[in-house]
């Protein structure tokens, strides 16, 4: 039996997935609390012990590969020129690399914003701005402000190439750690994220994991290679597109509800499907990730409450549901585990809200415009209305007694503006074994096996 061990060092739990390459299936999974605050090896070894007891056999793993979002994951700031264009492009690079965007800054940054970067203990700074041949003055100003500061975080420059020589000289003279990449927006509304995204992943592997204390485990595993959200994105893209002779499942969406964030992924072109609709704004990537740092089941439970309208809160009160107390209690007790039927009802309520709001922020919208030729529509973002597969994952969704009802409630659009382009009655599936990040890791060596395992293990609801 040839076995791989895939590890996810999460902010809350360390999760292990053992895979048999010959039978092309999951042998067993296990999880326990991540011990990043003390010694991350303790949590790993405890989880490994649990896994081996469940396997009831002594297995030698051919390779052990890990991803990580421990200690809050990869925190970045995206700095651009115009918020709607290069700043948004920079933000998408960060999200595509598996980061959590803590700050988004535009135009000429000032001393107060420099202090925010320091206070938030940002891991990597992405400096962008201007299409090639466009404005150079602003991005050079921002580079000087960073150079004059005592910021230690590495800087990735991915802006106007005409400013590259000046930026390199400025950052070199200040002895900053920096990397030069292709412009994230070389032409107006055109995205080019691969160069900067790949550089960010390299920095994560080489520098950030050591700062997070995860370097300690490299003596007992082969490598920590990716931020966890990027591993999930790789798995989702593989499941959508397929590999070689193994077909994928086509366009799909995925929602991952965690304790601190809710991540939404879409694998689709998102081009207009409505007649008389034209695309406006920044180009959309086929594989897109958004992360909502204010929507989570524990750390960010107060954000769920803040996302609700007064009338929605009042409606819960009329049903005898003290929604304020429910959110406050989970925020104060991040180790809370549902036990009673009422607990699970409340968990599903909060999770559905997380997905609902996160979807609204992820999908595109239509805006009607009257013209001499009749009504025309401007589409901003991706049209995901015809995506026919929606996958739910994350502890609260997986452990829900009624995951199908939860996901269908979250997807419902009756109360939404009709011009919001979320999926209409898609088929829902469940990542019941919580294996997407593990399959993203496995796909680096055995993509076809990873794809077949996902197709086998994703449960239709």
pTM reported for the whole predicted model: 0.85
d(CA 370, CA 337): 53
d(CA 24, CA 306): 44
Q: Which helix (H) or strand (E) holds 231?
A: helix 228-241
Domain 74-203 in the same topology as domain 3-71+212-221: no
Torsion of CA 406, 407, 410, 412, to 10 degrees: -110
- What pLDDT was estimated at residue 315? 92
- What pLDDT was estimated at residue 209? 65
- What pLDDT was estimated at residue 215? 65
- What pLDDT was estimated at residue 224? 75
- What pLDDT was estimated at residue 213? 62
**What one-character DSSP code corresponds to residue 226?**
E
- Beta carbons of 428 and 392 less than 8 angstroms apart: yes
d(CA 85, CA 274): 25
- What pLDDT was estimated at residue 146? 97
- What pLDDT was estimated at residue 314? 94
SS3 375: strand
d(CA 284, CA 266): 11
- What pLDDT was estimated at residue 418? 61
Which tokens hold the place of 53?
Answer: 């007891």
- What pLDDT was estimated at residue 324? 96
Per this entry, what is the length of the chain? 461
Tokens 């999930």 found at: 232
Name the architecture of domain 3-71+212-221.
2-Layer Sandwich (3.30)
Residue extents of the structural domains in the chain: 3-71+212-221, 74-203, 235-433
- What pLDDT was estimated at residue 223? 74
d(CA 202, CA 179): 11
Q: Per residue of the chain (461 residues), what is the pLDDT tens digit?
A: 899 999 998 777 889 999 999 999 999 999 888 776 667 788 888 999 999 999 987 788 999 998 887 656 678 999 998 877 878 888 888 888 778 888 999 999 999 999 999 999 998 999 999 899 998 999 999 999 999 999 999 999 999 999 999 999 999 999 999 999 999 999 988 888 899 988 998 887 776 666 556 666 666 777 777 888 889 999 999 999 999 999 999 999 999 998 888 999 999 999 999 888 898 888 888 999 998 888 999 888 999 999 999 999 999 999 999 999 999 999 999 889 999 999 999 999 999 999 999 999 999 999 888 888 788 889 999 999 999 999 999 999 999 999 999 999 999 865 555 688 999 989 999 999 999 999 999 999 999 999 999 999 999 99
SS3 368: strand
d(CA 256, CA 262): 6
Q: Which CATH number fits domain 74-203: 3.30.70.20, 3.20.20.120, 3.90.226.10, 3.40.50.280?
A: 3.40.50.280
């Amino acid at each position: 039996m040839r076995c791989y061990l895939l590890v996810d060092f999460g902010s809350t739990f360390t999760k292990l997935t053992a895979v048999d390459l010959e039978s092309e299936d999951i042998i067993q999974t296990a999880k326990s609390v991540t011990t990043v605050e003390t010694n991350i090896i303790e949590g790993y070894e405890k989880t490994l012990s649990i896994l081996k007891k469940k396997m009831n056999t002594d297995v030698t793993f051919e390779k052990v590969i890990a991803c990580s979002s421990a200690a809050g994951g990869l925190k970045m700031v995206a700095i651009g020129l115009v918020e709607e264009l290069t700043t948004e492009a920079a933000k998408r690079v960060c999200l595509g690399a598996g980061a959590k965007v803590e700050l988004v800054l535009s135009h000429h940054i000032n001393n107060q914003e420099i202090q925010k970067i320091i206070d938030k203990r940002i891991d990597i700074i992405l400096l962008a701005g201007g299409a090639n041949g466009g404005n150079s003055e602003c991005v050079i100003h921002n580079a000087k402000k960073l150079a004059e500061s005592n910021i230690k975080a590495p800087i990735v420059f991915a802006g106007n190439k005409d400013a590259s020589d000046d930026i390199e000289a400025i950052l070199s003279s200040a002895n900053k750690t920096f990397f030069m990449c292709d412009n994230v927006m070389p032409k107006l509304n055109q995205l080019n994220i691969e160069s900067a995204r790949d550089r960010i992943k390299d920095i994560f592997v080489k520098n950030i994991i050591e700062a997070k204390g995860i370097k300690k485990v490299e003596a007992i595993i082969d490598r920590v290679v990716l931020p966890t959200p990027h591993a999930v994105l790789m798995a989702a893209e593989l499941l959508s597109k397929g590999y070689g002779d193994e077909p994928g499942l086509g366009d799909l969406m995925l929602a991952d509800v965690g304790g601190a964030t809710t991540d939404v992924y879409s694998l689709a072109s998102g081009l207009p499907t409505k007649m008389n609709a034209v695309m406006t704004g920044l180009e959309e990537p086929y594989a897109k990730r958004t992360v909502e740092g204010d929507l989570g089941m524990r750390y960010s439970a107060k954000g769920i409450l803040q996302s609700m309208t007064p009338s929605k809160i009042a409606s819960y009160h009329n049903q005898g549901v003290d929604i304020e107390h429910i959110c406050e209690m989970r925020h104060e007790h991040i180790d809370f585990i549902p036990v009673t039927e009422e607990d699970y009802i409340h968990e599903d309520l909060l999770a559905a809200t997380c997905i609902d709001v996160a979807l609204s922020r992820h999908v595109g919208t239509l805006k009607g415009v009257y013209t001499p030729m009749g009504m025309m529509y401007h589409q901003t973002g991706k049209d995901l209305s015809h995506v026919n597969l929606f996958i739910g994952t994350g502890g609260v969704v997986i452990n829900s007694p009624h995951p199908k009802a939860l996901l269908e409630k979250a997807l419902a659009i009756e109360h939404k503006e009709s011009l919001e382009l979320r999926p209409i009655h898609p088929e829902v599936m469940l990542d019941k074994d919580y294996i997407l990040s593990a399959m993203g890791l496995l796909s680096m060596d055995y993509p076809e096996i990873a794809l077949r395992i996902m197709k086998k293990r994703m449960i239709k609801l």
